[in-house]
Amino acid sequence: MSFINRRRFLGRTLVTGAAGLIASSAIAAAPAPATKAKPAHPAKPKRQIVALDPGHGGKDPGAIGARGTYEKWITIAMAQEVARKLEATGRYDVLLTRHEDVFIPLPDRVRLARAGNAALFVSLHADSIANHNIRGFSVYTLSDEASDDFAAALAKKENAADRIGGVDFSRHPKEVRSILMDLMHRETANNSTMMAETVVSTLHGPFEPLEHTHRQANFAVLRAPDIPSVLVEMGFLSNIDDEKLLNQPKFQAKLSDRLSTAIDGYFRPA
């Protein structure tokens, strides 16, 4: 944990430095402000925006369970439950990438989260595999290789290179731009890892984990360059026991409790 914290701290420091650089050049260009009166009341703490992404939908059912459960039914039920619990804390505004049984292309889900200024992206799924004995939850982050490929592809596009994560880099020389982008990607990757580890430790115990619970893969929904993103496979619909549990309201309530606790734990580490 201390290693991850250190990396996260390092990422924060570096990116704060990059943001400071942008902010200071913006200030230099702006006219000197008139003397400001201090606000009478301290500002209300800002709510964090969390993007929850119920996997699949519409013409795409996702995995189909041994007893006929569609993955898209489980993911929307769980996302709505987690959203309700997060919003009940008063600390979060939740942005759902879909509210009903509709098909949303994967890049659109990422675009929605970025347009809504989400600080975290959590995609919910239930897995399926040929070996029906395999069960348990797992958490995915984008693989380093995929991140590098994606960063390289992004960097190739001039527009993307100028404007990443809502920050306009175009005023900076090319070399500075690439350093700033690299710092942003590293910060996102470190925080995604932090979130994945938080999910694993929060769910471990009441829920059966898949071995090597935190995994990496090249999922399209995890590719926001500036939003820490994880994909949670809540179990295997190809396993009869997992399928039965994922359909139980009691199990869904318990799992959504833990998922919302994990998200809260990411923003407010102990």
Task: Tell me which residues in 94-113 interact with Zn ion (CB under 5 A).
Answer: none
Residue 123 Cβ, how far from Zn ion at the closest point, in Å?
8
Q: Evaluate whether 116 touches 95 at the Cβ level (below 8 Å).
A: yes
Q: Which of 11, 15, 50, 55 binds Zn ion (CB under 5 A)?
A: 55
Cβ nearer to Zn ion, comparing 62 with 228: 62
Residue 136 binds Zn ion, judged by CB under 5 A? no
| 27 Cβ contact list (under 8 Å, min separation 6) | none
Q: Which helix (H) or strand (E) holds 192?
A: helix 174-203
Strand segments, DSSP code E, in the chain are: 48-54, 92-96, 120-127, 137-142, 163-164, 167-168, 209-217, 229-236
Helix (H, G, I), strand (E, B) or coil at 140: strand
User: Residue count at the site for Zn ion (CB under 5 A)?
Assistant: 3
Binding span for Zn ion by CB under 5 A among 26-34, 47-55, 86-94, 110-118: 47-55
Cβ nearer to Zn ion, comparing 18 with 63: 63
Cβ nearer to Zn ion, comparing 15 with 234: 234
Burial per residue of 86-110, b for 16 or more beta-carbon CB atoms within 10 angstroms, e otherwise: beeeebbbbbbbbeeeeebebeebb
Task: Tell me which residues in 60-79 interact with Zn ion (CB under 5 A).
Answer: 62
Residue 71 Cβ, how far from Zn ion at the closest point, in Å?
5
Q: Which residue is nearest to Zn ion (CB)?
A: 125
* Nearest of 256, 236, 189 to residue 216 by alpha carbon: 189
Cβ nearer to Zn ion, comparing 62 with 235: 62
Binding span for Zn ion by CB under 5 A among 52-60, 90-98, 141-149, 218-226: 52-60
Cβ nearer to Zn ion, comparing 180 with 255: 255
Binding span for Zn ion by CB under 5 A among 33-41, 55-63, 181-189, 259-267: 55-63
Q: Evaluate whether 53 touches 121 at the Cβ level (below 8 Å).
A: yes
Q: Evaluate whether 186 touches 144 at the Cβ level (below 8 Å).
A: no
Residue 56 Cβ, how far from Zn ion at the closest point, in Å?
6
Task: Tell me which residues in 225-254 interact with Zn ion (CB under 5 A).
Answer: none
What is the chain's alpha carbon radius of gyration, rounded to the nearest angstrom? Answer: 20
End-to-end CA distance of the chain: 12
Residue 233 Cβ, how far from Zn ion at the closest point, in Å?
7
Residue 125 binds Zn ion, judged by CB under 5 A? yes
Q: Where does this chain bind Zn ion (CB under 5 A)?
A: 55, 62, 125
